[in-house]
Amino acid sequence: MTTNRTWLAFANENICNHRKALKELGVVSWTTNIKSKFSEGDIVYLFMNDDRSIRFKLRVAKVNVPREDGIYWNGDAPNDTTYRLELIGNEYSGNLLNEDVLERVGFKGGGSILTPSCNNTMLMEYINDVFEIASKDIPLPLHYIVVDLGSGSYWRNNTGHEVFNLDPNDVDGRFYGYLPPYDNPNIEQLGASSTDDYVDGIMVVYVKKLPNSSNRQIVAFTDNARVYTKSHSGAGLNRYILDNGKRIECTYTIESDYIYDLRTESNPFVFEVNGDDLQMFRKQRFYTGRRPRQEVKMLLWLANYLQRKVNEDDNDLDFQRKIQEAECDVVLSDTSKQQPTYNDGISGRTVAKKEYISKQSIRQAHYKCAFDETHETFLTNKGVPYMEGHHLIPCTSSNAELFWSKFKRNIDCVENIICLCPTCHRRIHFGSKEEKGTIIKSLYQKQILSLKTVGLDISIEELLSLYD
């Protein structure tokens, strides 16, 4: 049995317009008159000489077939037998496969692949990972910056100005970030021009040093930040620290409407700081493509995390349908004491929520919206108002694990499930930060006593942070 191989080949656009052929035919022909012999099923990545980057992933579909791309040659195409290479997916448009980045992963330059090569295992693994990220339904920003928090020498005796980075601002609920050590981003590294004051759509990844280790763990990120070239004073945003008894206003160069807080994530991504990467966080930050081997692993993790978030929303719609169909003829008790169970799928781990528990909560609420009892909906096929079950403490796998380990309580319980009309439920999931905060605070006041009766004690600040 032949094991298929992965190749890297040089596409000379001065001889043949491979890019146009792939866009119009989805196929290019590669001569069999080469030292490197492809087999059917092999993967071939094309390094394009015009922009010095890998752009296409191809599969060897047939061997020893007539040439099909003759019209795309700049001169007379050879009349030879060829490998038929079929396009997989779309052209890669990112910057992680540019020649200067590839060289940091062991690429020896275009001259090294004039004859197709398959020998650099580490390089091929990196390229495979980049194309896997590109194949996902979750688009990630082209540019990002990884920021190391709380590790600079300033923190030995002082509180660093980045102390506010991960928390919503007290004044407007948005997020404002200081970039250590001097709040001076190089936004040209993020795709901006030298004359720009700021750049939008940047992913900012925050990491912190693990105890007794040089490794860094991702603690938060945003995939849509504005990054300024010069620091802003933060006047009016109540961002003050005491430094040697003096009140100092913390500046910021990063702002966003939201962040994903990963401080309670059960399986966080960790940068391994060793070997060639010992200097990774020497400047407390690095930009796109500086540490490519670890960056691509980070991007895969983030893409999977975001995909899991999307799937959770999709799964919730399916779960609400099951609630309507569920039968619950007995009064349930002690549901908080039942150990949570989980489903492990392609997109990650989810809590195996029980629809009949939510059904009981909705029945106990007499099919009335907990936020506003006057809200009306349509009737289901069972003749009752359509209402949805919402877990006030979000029923994610990380939250479920946290509360079970801390309190030995299952958050998929009657006391943690709120009856809501679909509009209010969607406001929590998709509304503005202000609308979301308003409804959660109201529900908290109504439900906290029930939560405490079963040992689920949580402050409003802690609850809001779980939604952030």
Q: How far apart are CA 231 and CA 250, in angstroms?
A: 10
User: Of the candidates 93, 111, 135, which is a domain's last residue?
Assistant: 135
User: Of the candidates 262, 290, 318, which is a domain's last residue?
Assistant: 290
Rounded (10°) angle between helices 433-453 and 422-430: 110
H-helix or E-strand spanning residue 307: helix 292-325
- 169 lies in the same domain as 236: yes
CATH code, domain with 116: 3.10.590
SS (H, E, C) 197-247: CEEEEEEEEEEEECCCCCCEEEEEEEEEEEEEEEEECCCCCCCEEEECCEE
Beta carbons of 144 and 202 less than 8 angstroms apart: yes
pLDDT per position as a tens digit, 299-346: 999 998 888 777 766 677 788 888 888 887 667 788 999 999 998 865
Q: How confident is the model at residue 246 (pLDDT cuts 50, 70, 90)?
A: confident
Does position 31 have pLDDT exceeding 60, yes or no? yes
Show the domain range for 406.
308-467
- 317 lies in the same domain as 458: yes
pLDDT per position as a tens digit, 343-398: 886 556 789 999 999 999 999 999 999 999 999 999 998 899 999 999 999 998 88
Does position 200 have pLDDT exceeding 90, yes or no? yes
Report the domain count for the chain.
3
- 279 lies in the same domain as 423: no
- 153 lies in the same domain as 285: yes
Q: What is the structure's pLDDT at 314?
A: 63
User: Of the candidates 97, 113, 135, which is a domain's last residue?
Assistant: 135
- 245 lies in the same domain as 116: no
Q: How far apart are CA 457 and CA 466, in angstroms?
A: 14
Indicate the pairing of strand 240-243 with strand 260-261: unpaired
Total-model pTM: 0.71
Q: How far apart are CA 468 and CA 174, in angstroms?
A: 11
Strand ranges inside 289-375, DSSP E: 342-345, 348-351
180: left (phi over 0), alpha (psi -120 to 50) or beta: beta
Q: Which has the closest alpha carbon to 131: 106, 101, 94?
A: 94
- 68 lies in the same domain as 102: yes
* Other C-beta atoms lying within 10 Å of the C-beta of residue 58: 25
- 322 lies in the same domain as 420: yes
Q: How far apart are CA 152 and CA 181, in angstroms?
A: 7
Sign, CA torsion 21/22/26/29: positive
- For residue 308, the Cα-to-chain-centroid distance in whole angstroms is 9
- 23 lies in the same domain as 158: no
Q: How far apart are CA 130 and CA 301, in angstroms?
A: 12
- 184 lies in the same domain as 75: no
Does position 415 have pLDDT exceeding 80, yes or no? yes
Does residue 276 lie within any of the structural domains?
yes
Tokens at 7, concatenated: 């190749």
- 127 lies in the same domain as 152: no
% pLDDT > 70, the chain:
97
Q: How far is CA 154 from CA 161, 248, 277, 350, in A?
A: 10, 15, 23, 40
Does residue 94 lie within any of the structural domains?
yes
